[in-house]
C-alpha cells in the first residue's frame, strides 16, 4: 500500500527503504531537499512541499511523521490543514504520550485519525526491523496493518514462546496495537524506562568488577592511609571485556544490551575516551513521573535516571551542602581529589577518619 513520509532523516529514510523493499509505494518529503533526492534515487516519489506531498497521496491518505519531537506539533498542524476526513496521520517520533492524547482529540474533531507509533530498534532497524508499539482507533490501526507488518522485525529466528500455538499473533511479528491513541508511546516510554534500568544494572555490576582489585591497588599506596578492611578479598584483576563476552552464552542475563556492551568493551577495554557524562532523552523522565502519578514504586528505574543526572554533575550543590555540614559538625575538611586512599582502596581521608566517626 501507499505511505507518505514526512521527515527523511536516518529513521524516516530507513523505514521508507524497508517499506519499498517489501513492495509498498512511498512518497517522501523533507525540508532538506538532498534527503528527498536521496530517497527518490532509491525509488520513492519525492515532494517539493507539503501541498505537493499531500496531492501525491491517495485517500484515505496515510502519512507518517518522523520528525524531531519538538517539531511534531507544528508540522501536524500544517499538514492537517491540507487533509480530508478519514485521512490517517501516524506520529512515529518520540513524542510524549500526553501530546498524543491531546493531538488525537484535536484531530478527532476534524475527522482525522491520529495514530502514535513508538519505535525501538536504533541504528540497526533497517536490517533488523523496528519494534512497533501502536496506539489509535481500531479502524485506523487495522487499515495500516500491512505497513506495520513490513516495518516490524517479523518473527525472525527467535524461538516461539512455549505455550503459544496456532497463527502468529501481531506481537510475535513485532508490532502491537496497545490501546487508544497515546498507548503506543506510553508503552514505548516504559520500554525506555526499563532500558535505563537494565543499562544501569549492567554498568553498576561492571564497575564493581572493575574495582575487584581494590585490595591490590591499595598496597601501592603509602602505609599511613586508612586501609580497606579486608584487602585479601579484593585481589581480582577482572577483564570486563572477556566477562561480558562470556555472559552472552548460557547466562541468565544474556541480552541485546549485554551484546552491545561486549562489543564496546572489545573495541575499547578501558573506555578511556569516554567522559562518562550520560545523556537522557525524555522517556526515562516521563516514566518516573507517570509512576509517581499513579503511585507505582520504581526505585530501580528512578535510580538509573538519577545516576545519569549525577554523571553530568547535577548533584554538585547537594554534595557541597554535605561537605559544608561535615565541616560544621566535625571540622572535617574535604580531601583534595586523588590525594589519598579511600577505605575502598582508592581515595580517602586519612587525617580526620578518627574524628569523623564520632559525629
Contact positions with a second copy (CB under 8 A) in 7-46: 9-11
The residue (of 58 and 253) whose beta carbon lies closer to a second copy is: 253
Residue 353 neighbours by CB under 8 Å, 6+ apart: 226
Quick check: 4 binds a second copy (CB under 8 A)?
Answer: no
The residue (of 45 and 115) whose beta carbon lies closer to a second copy is: 115
- Dihedral sign, CA of 218, 223, 225, 228? positive
Q: Least CB distance from residue 203 to a second copy, whole Å?
A: 4
Which residue in 17, 38, 194, 221 binds a second copy (CB under 8 A)?
A: 194
The residue (of 81 and 155) whose beta carbon lies closer to a second copy is: 155
Quick check: 126 binds a second copy (CB under 8 A)?
Answer: no
Which residue in 60, 120, 137, 145 binds a second copy (CB under 8 A)?
A: 120
Q: Which three cell numbers stand for residue 62?
A: 496515510
Beta strands in 57-112 (DSSP E): 62-65, 88-91
CA distance 287 to 305: 10
Quick check: 308 binds a second copy (CB under 8 A)?
Answer: yes
Q: Which of 145, 171, 172, 195 is catalytic?
A: 195
Is 204 part of the annotated catalytic residue set? Answer: no
Quick check: 130 binds a second copy (CB under 8 A)?
Answer: yes
Angle at 125 between CA 122 and CA 130, to 5 degrees: 95
Quick check: 269 binds a second copy (CB under 8 A)?
Answer: no
CA distance 352 to 359: 11
- Please name every residue paired with 333 in a beta bridge, in sequence order, or none if there are none: none
Angle at 109 between CA 107 and CA 114, to 5 degrees: 25
Q: Which residues inside 46-85 make contact with a second copy, applying CB under 8 A?
A: 67-70
Quick check: 124 binds a second copy (CB under 8 A)?
Answer: yes
Residue 134 near residue 176 (C-beta atoms within 8 A): yes
Quick check: 137 binds a second copy (CB under 8 A)?
Answer: no
Quick check: 136 binds a second copy (CB under 8 A)?
Answer: no
Measured between its terminal Cα atoms, the distance across the chain in Å is 73
Residue 88 near residue 61 (C-beta atoms within 8 A): yes
Q: Least CB distance from residue 299 to a second copy, whole Å?
A: 4
Question: What is residue 153's three-state secondary structure?
Answer: coil
Angle at 266 between CA 260 and CA 271, to 5 degrees: 90
Q: Which three cell numbers stand for residue 340?
A: 589519598
Binding mask 287-306 for a second copy (x = CB under 8 A): xxxxxxxxxxxxxxxxxxxx
Which residue in 125, 143, 147, 148 binds a second copy (CB under 8 A)?
A: 125
Is 171 part of the annotated catalytic residue set? Answer: no
Q: Which of 188, 218, 283, 349 is catalytic?
A: 188
Which residue in 4, 46, 121, 136 binds a second copy (CB under 8 A)?
A: 121
The residue (of 75 and 83) whose beta carbon lies closer to a second copy is: 75
Q: Least CB distance from residue 60 to a second copy, whole Å?
A: 25
Give the strand pairing for 45-46 and 62-65. unpaired
The residue (of 51 and 207) whose beta carbon lies closer to a second copy is: 207
Binding mask 334-353 for a second copy (x = CB under 8 A): xxxx----xxxxxxxx--xx
Kindly list the distances between the CA atom of residue 335 and the CA atoms of 125, 296, 304, 350, in Å, as whole numbers in the listed order: 48, 40, 28, 9
CA distance 280 to 306: 10
The residue (of 80 and 335) whose beta carbon lies closer to a second copy is: 335
DSSP letter for 159, please: P
Kindly list the distances between the CA atom of residue 107 and the CA atoms of 76, 120, 337, in Å, as whole numbers in the listed order: 9, 25, 57
Q: Which stretch binds a second copy (CB under 8 A): 19-27, 35-43, 48-56, 179-187?
A: 179-187
Q: Which three cell numbers stand for residue 19?
A: 517499506
Quick check: 162 binds a second copy (CB under 8 A)?
Answer: yes
Q: Least CB distance from residue 84 to a second copy, whole Å?
A: 28
Residues with active-site annotation: 188, 195
Amino acid at each position: 500500500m501507499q505511505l507518505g513520509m514526512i521527515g527523511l532523516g536516518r529513521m524516516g529514510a530507513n523505514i521508507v527503504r524497508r517499506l519499498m523493499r517489501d513492495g509498498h509505494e512511498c512518497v517522501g518529503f523533507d525540508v532538506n531537499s538532498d534527503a528527498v533526492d536521496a530517497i527518490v534515487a532509491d525509488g520513492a516519489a519525492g515532494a517539493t512541499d507539503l501541498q505537493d506531498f499531500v496531492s501525491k497521496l491517495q485517500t484515505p491518505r496515510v502519512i507518517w511523521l518522523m520528525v524531531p519531537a519538538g517539531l511534531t506539533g507544528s508540522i501536524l498542524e500544517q499538514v492537517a490543514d491540507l487533509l480530508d476526513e478519514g485521512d490517517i496521520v501516524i506520529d512515529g517520533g518520540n513524542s510524549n504520550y500526553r501530546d498524543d492524547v491531546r493531538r488525537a482529540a484535536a484531530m478527532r474533531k476534524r475527522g482525522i485519525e491520529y495514530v502514535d507509533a513508538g519505535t525501538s530498534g536504533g541504528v540497526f532497524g533497517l536490517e533488523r526491523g523496528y519494534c512497533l508499539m501502536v496506539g489509535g482507533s481500531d479502524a485506523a490501526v487495522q487499515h495500516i496493518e500491512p505497513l506495520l507488518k513490513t516495518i516490524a522485525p517479523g518473527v525472525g529466528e527467535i524461538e516461539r514462546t512455549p505455550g503459544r500455538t496456532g497463527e502468529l499473533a501481531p506481537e510475535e511479528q513485532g508490532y502491537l496495537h496497545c490501546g487508544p491513541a497515546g498507548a503506543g508511546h506510553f508503552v514505548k516510554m516504559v520500554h525506555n524506562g526499563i532500558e535505563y534500568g537494565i543499562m544501569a544494572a549492567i554498568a553498576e555490576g561492571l564497575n564493581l568488577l572493575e574495582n575487584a582489585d581494590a585490595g591490590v591497588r591499595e598496597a601501592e599506596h603509602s602505609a599511613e592511609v586508612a586501609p580497606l578492611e579486608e584487602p585479601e578479598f579484593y585481589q581480582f584483576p577482572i577483564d570486563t571485556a572477556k566477562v561480558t563476552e562470556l555472559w552472552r552464552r548460557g547466562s541468565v542475563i544474556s541480552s541485546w544490551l549485554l551484546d552491545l556492551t561486549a562489543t564496546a568493551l572489545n573495541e575499547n577495554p578501558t573506555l578511556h575516551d569516554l567522559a562518562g557524562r550520560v545523556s537522557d532523552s525524555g522517556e526515562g523522565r516521563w516514566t518516573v513521573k507517570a509512576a509517581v502519578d499513579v503511585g507505582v514504586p520504581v526505585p530501580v528505574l528512578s535510580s538509573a535516571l538519577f545516576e545519569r543526572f549525577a554523571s553530568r554533575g547535577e548533584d554538585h550543590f547537594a554534595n557541597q551542602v554535605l561537605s559544608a555540614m561535615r565541616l560544621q559538625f566535625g571540622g572535617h575538611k574535604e580531601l583534595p581529589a586523588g590525594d589519598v586512599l579511600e577505605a575502598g582502596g582508592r581515595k580517602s581521608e586519612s587525617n580526620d577518619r578518627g574524628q569523623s566517626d564520632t559525629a
